[in-house]
Chains A and B, each alone.
Chain A
Amino acid sequence: MTHPERANAFANNEDRARWHDQALWFVRDRRDRAMQGLPEWEGLRAEAARIKGETLSRLADQLESFEDNAIASGAKVHWAGDAREFNDIVLDLLRTRRVTRVVKSKSMLTEECQLNPWLEAHGVEVVDTDLGERIVQLRREPPSHIVFPAIHLRKEEIGETFHAHLGSPKGLADPTRLTEIARGDLRSKFLGAQAGITGVNFAIAETGGIVVCTNEGNADLGTALPPIHIACMGIEKLVPKTADLAVFLRLLARSATGQAITAYTSHFHGPREGGELHIVIVDNGRSETLANPSFARALSCIRCGACMNTCPVFRRSGGHSYEATIPGPIGSILEPVRDAARHASLPFACTLCGSCTDVCPVAIPLHHQLKAWRGELTERALTGKWKRFCLALSRAIFERPGLYSAAGRLVRWLGRRLPRRWLYGKANTWGIARELPEFPSESFRERYRRERARER
Chain B
Amino acid sequence: MRVALFVPCYVDQLRPSVAHATLALLERCGFDVDFPEAQTCCGQAHLNSGGARDARVLATRFLEIFAPYEKIVCPSASCVATVTQHYGDLLPVSPELLAIRAKTRELSAFLATEVPSTALRGRWQGKIGIQPSCHGLRELRQGRSTERRDGHPFDPLRNLLENLEGAEIVDPVRTDECCGFGGAFCVEEPGVSRLMGLDRLRDHERAGASVVTSSDVSCLLHLEGLARRERVPLEFRHVAELLECATRDPS
Interface residues of A (CB under 8 A from B): 3-4, 7-12, 14, 17-18, 21, 25, 32, 35-36, 38-39, 41-42, 310, 312-313, 316-317, 348-355, 357-359, 367, 371-372, 374-379, 383, 387-388, 391-392, 394-395, 397-399, 401, 404, 408, 411-412, 429-430, 432-437, 439-440, 442-445, 447-449
Residues 183-194 of B, flagged 1 when their CB comes within 8 A of A and 0 if not, give 111111111111
User: By the criterion CB–CB under 8 Å, are B180 and A351 in contact?
Assistant: yes
B180 → chain A closest CB, angstroms: 6
User: Contacting B7 at CB < 8 Å: which of A8, A395, A444?
Assistant: A444
Q: Enumerate the 3 nearest inter-chain pairs by beta-carbon distance, A residue then B residue, closest first.
A: A351-B182, A434-B225, A354-B138
- Chain A residue numbers with a CB within 8 Å of B80 are none
User: By the criterion CB–CB under 8 Å, are A38 and B139 in contact?
Assistant: no
For B9, B13, B199, the residue with the greatest tally of chain A CB atoms inside 10 Å of its CB is B13
Q: A394-B41, A429-B190, A437-B14 are in contact. List 7 more A-B contacts (CB 8 A).
A: A18-B195, A351-B193, A353-B138, A354-B135, A371-B47, A392-B54, A436-B225
**A335, B217: Cα distance in complex, Å:** 34
User: By the criterion CB–CB under 8 Å, are A353 and B190 in contact?
Assistant: no
User: By the criterion CB–CB under 8 Å, are B229 and A435 in contact?
Assistant: yes
Interface-forming stretch among B122-130, B144-152, B154-162?
B144-152
User: By the criterion CB–CB under 8 Å, are B229 and A434 in contact?
Assistant: yes
User: Contacting A433 at CB < 8 Å: which of B43, B46, B55, B194?
Assistant: B194
User: By the criterion CB–CB under 8 Å, are B147 and A359 in contact?
Assistant: yes
B211 within 8 A of A: no
Within 8 A of A (CB), among B44-59: 45-52, 54-55, 57-58
B19 within 8 A of A: yes
Residues 202-240 of B, flagged 1 when their CB comes within 8 A of A and 0 if not, give 000000000000000000011011101100000000000
B148 → chain A closest CB, angstroms: 5
Interface residues of B (CB under 8 A from A): 7, 9, 11-17, 19-20, 23, 35, 37-41, 43, 45-52, 54-55, 57-58, 61, 89, 134-135, 137-139, 145-150, 174, 176-178, 180-197, 199, 221-222, 224-226, 228-229
A277 → chain B closest CB, angstroms: 38
User: Contacting A394 at CB < 8 Å: which of B37, B39, B45?
Assistant: B45
User: By the criterion CB–CB under 8 Å, are A378 and B16 in contact?
Assistant: no
User: By the criterion CB–CB under 8 Å, are B52 and A317 in contact?
Assistant: no
**A227, B23: Cα distance in complex, Å:** 76
User: By the criterion CB–CB under 8 Å, are B190 and A433 in contact?
Assistant: yes
- Chain B residue numbers with a CB within 8 Å of A371 are 47-48
User: By the criterion CB–CB under 8 Å, are B50 and A377 in contact?
Assistant: yes
- Chain B residue numbers with a CB within 8 Å of A14 are 195
**A449, B19: Cα distance in complex, Å:** 13
User: By the criterion CB–CB under 8 Å, are A7 and B189 in contact?
Assistant: yes
User: By the criterion CB–CB under 8 Å, are A310 and B147 in contact?
Assistant: yes
- Chain B residue numbers with a CB within 8 Å of A435 are 224-225, 228-229
User: By the criterion CB–CB under 8 Å, are B12 and A443 in contact?
Assistant: yes
- Chain A residue numbers with a CB within 8 Å of B137 are 354
For A7, A21, A353, A388, the residue with the greatest tally of chain B CB atoms inside 10 Å of its CB is A353
**A35, B225: Cα distance in complex, Å:** 36
- Chain A residue numbers with a CB within 8 Å of B194 are 11, 432-434
User: By the criterion CB–CB under 8 Å, are A395 and B182 in contact?
Assistant: no
User: By the criterion CB–CB under 8 Å, are A395 and B54 in contact?
Assistant: yes
- Chain A residue numbers with a CB within 8 Å of B229 are 433-435
- Chain A residue numbers with a CB within 8 Å of B192 are 4, 7-8, 11, 313, 316-317, 349
User: By the criterion CB–CB under 8 Å, are A351 and B181 in contact?
Assistant: yes
B89 → chain A closest CB, angstroms: 8
- Chain A residue numbers with a CB within 8 Å of B17 are 440
User: By the criterion CB–CB under 8 Å, are B37 and A350 in contact?
Assistant: no
User: By the criterion CB–CB under 8 Å, are B41 and A3 in contact?
Assistant: no
**A312, B178: Cα distance in complex, Å:** 7
- Chain B residue numbers with a CB within 8 Å of A348 are 184-185, 188-189
Q: Given that A317-B192, A394-B45, A398-B9 are known contacts, is A352 also in contact with B16, CB under 8 Å in the complex?
A: no
* 14 A-B pairs (CB sep. < 8 Å): A7-B192, A11-B191, A14-B195, A21-B199, A316-B192, A316-B196, A394-B46, A395-B43, A398-B9, A434-B194, A437-B14, A437-B224, A440-B14, A444-B20
**A324, B194: Cα distance in complex, Å:** 24
User: Contacting B149 at CB < 8 Å: which of A36, A375, A432?
Assistant: A36
Question: Which residue on A lies nearest to B12, using beta carbons?
Answer: A444
User: By the criterion CB–CB under 8 Å, are A429 and B196 in contact?
Assistant: no
User: Contacting A4 at CB < 8 Å: which of B43, B148, B189?
Assistant: B189
User: By the criterion CB–CB under 8 Å, are B49 and A7 in contact?
Assistant: no
User: By the criterion CB–CB under 8 Å, are B190 and A432 in contact?
Assistant: yes
User: By the criterion CB–CB under 8 Å, are B149 and A374 in contact?
Assistant: no
- Chain B residue numbers with a CB within 8 Å of A18 are 195, 199
- Chain A residue numbers with a CB within 8 Å of B134 are 351-355
- Chain A residue numbers with a CB within 8 Å of B226 are 433-434
**A94, B63: Cα distance in complex, Å:** 64
**A375, B90: Cα distance in complex, Å:** 11
- Chain B residue numbers with a CB within 8 Å of A36 are 149
Question: Which residue on A lies nearest to B16, using beta carbons?
Answer: A444
User: By the criterion CB–CB under 8 Å, are B225 and A42 in contact?
Assistant: no
**A447, B15: Cα distance in complex, Å:** 12
